DNA sequence: AACTTGACTTGGACTAAGTCCAATGTAGGA
DNA sequence: TCCTACATTGGACTTAGTCCAAGTCAAGTT
């Protein structure tokens, strides 16, 4: 987990207690938390941390490429700390739970030039949807 | 455009002026509008239509499968009326403009059983990201 | 054509998620 | 130790969307 902190320090991040706990929360579990969940977990370690700081820090981590935003159908964005390994997502349409998945194939190669409309294409996200075992059992 | 209205009527939709203008707005242009943009265009034809009705109607069209929700990075969801033809999206990271694209390949087949975690997988969305020609010219 | 009724619409209050900002605090270099 | 540019705070604000009780109306029935 100090890997992440080292990388950030190496990039000129001023290291504060707030940034440290946010980084630790994200680095600690490979689940996909909302900003509010990150705030709650961070506040457990550093009670006076503000929501604004959590949003700021998450935004910085995203632009540094350390964390990826995932938009599910639910309203709140989720933050995926597993940004260093390329992967895609499988989301339960009912409960919103997310798994990281690794499909075979190369989806970027599947978009021919004629379908690019002059865009400079830099990446692709695949979002598989379905029902998780628990939710499927309820239906 | 009356295709859509016919289909809806055939499914037992009670046809009201409000639903008609919303359907017409979506059916009229193949752009990807936000709920507020749909409301604005609908209100141009039927000034007293309320936002709640637009949201209700969009929600119904989505659950009927006539329209697809697209979550970009921006906050508001966009509504894609081109639901009858399977396709994916190419989004400009800068201005948020969206194009429909048709990649080759079968992404569902690219997710092996070992990567499904017991989920019942029902679909997949591919979101290509990059810069549109206009935005690329600005950088 | 008038009646009936349950589905539809309305507007306004409410909630959730996120942004902004002026005042205050502090990490890290000199 | 001091300085200062960068970071944090909390609270107001905005945006996007939901909810609901009251009123309206489409379409089937007579």
**The CATH fold of domain A2-80:** Arc Repressor Mutant, subunit A (1.10.10)
Low-confidence ranges of chain B (pLDDT < 70): 1-2, 139
Q: What is the pLDDT of residue A82?
A: 87
Helix (H) or strand (E) holding A62: helix A51-63
* Angular region, A105: left φ>0, alpha ψ -120 to 50, beta rest: left
3.20.20.210, 3.40.1160.10, 3.10.310.30, 3.30.1490.190: which CATH number matches B88-138? 3.30.1490.190
The CA distance from A58 to B13, in Å, is: 44
**3-state class (DSSP) for residue A69:** strand
Q: What is the pLDDT of residue B1?
A: 45
Contact between chains at B90 and A105 (C-beta distance less than 8 A): no
B92 chain-A contacts, CB cut-off 8 A: 119
Helix (H) or strand (E) holding A79: strand A78-80
Beta bridge partners of A126: B126
Beta bridge partners of A46: none
Sheet order of strands, B33-34 included = B33-34, B78-80, B68-70
Beta-strand relationship, A98-101 and A120-131: unpaired
Q: What is the pLDDT of residue B82?
A: 86
The pLDDT profile of chain A, 139 residues, written as one tens digit per residue, is 457 888 898 888 999 999 999 999 998 877 899 999 999 999 999 999 999 999 999 999 999 999 999 988 888 999 999 888 899 999 998 888 899 999 998 999 999 999 999 999 999 999 999 999 998 888 6
Beta-strand runs (E) in chain B: 33-34, 68-70, 78-80, 88-92, 98-101, 120-131
On whether the CB atoms of residues B123 and B113 are closer than 8 A, the answer is no
What is the residue extent of each domain of chain B? 2-80, 88-138
> Nearest CA to B87 among B108, B102, B72, B71?
B102
| Contacts of A100 by beta carbon, 8 Å cutoff, 6+ apart | A30, A80, A82, A87, A88, A89, A90
| Contacts of B91 by beta carbon, 8 Å cutoff, 6+ apart | B72, B73, B97, B98, B99, B127, B128, B129, B130
Among chain B residues, CA nearest to A100: B115
The CA distance from A132 to B57, in Å, is: 28
> For chain A, what's the residue count?
139
Beta bridge partners of B33: B79
How far A25 CA sits from the closest chain B CA (Å)? Answer: 23
On whether the CB atoms of residues B46 and B65 are closer than 8 A, the answer is no
Q: What is the pLDDT of residue B2?
A: 57
Q: What is the pLDDT of residue A113?
A: 95
For residue A63 the two structure tokens come to 């632009």
- A51 beta carbon to strand C: under 7 Å: yes
Contact between chains at B103 and A102 (C-beta distance less than 8 A): no
């Amino acid at each position: 987990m100090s890997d992440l902190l080292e990388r950030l320090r190496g990039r000129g991040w001023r290291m504060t207690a707030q940034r440290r706990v946010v980084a630790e929360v994200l680095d600690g579990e490979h689940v996909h938390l909302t900003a509010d969940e990150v705030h709650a977990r961070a506040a457990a370690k550093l009670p006076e941390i503000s929501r604004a700081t959590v949003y700021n820090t998450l935004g910085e981590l995203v632009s540094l490429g350390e964390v990826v935003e995932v938009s599910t159908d639910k309203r709140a964005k989720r933050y995926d700390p597993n940004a260093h390994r390329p992967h895609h997502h499988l989301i339960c349409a009912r409960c919103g739970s997310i798994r990281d998945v690794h499909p075979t194939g190369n989806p970027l190669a599947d978009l021919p030039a004629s379908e690019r409309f002059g865009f400079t294409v830099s990446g692709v996200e695949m979002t598989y949807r379905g029902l998780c075992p628990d939710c499927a059992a309820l239906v």
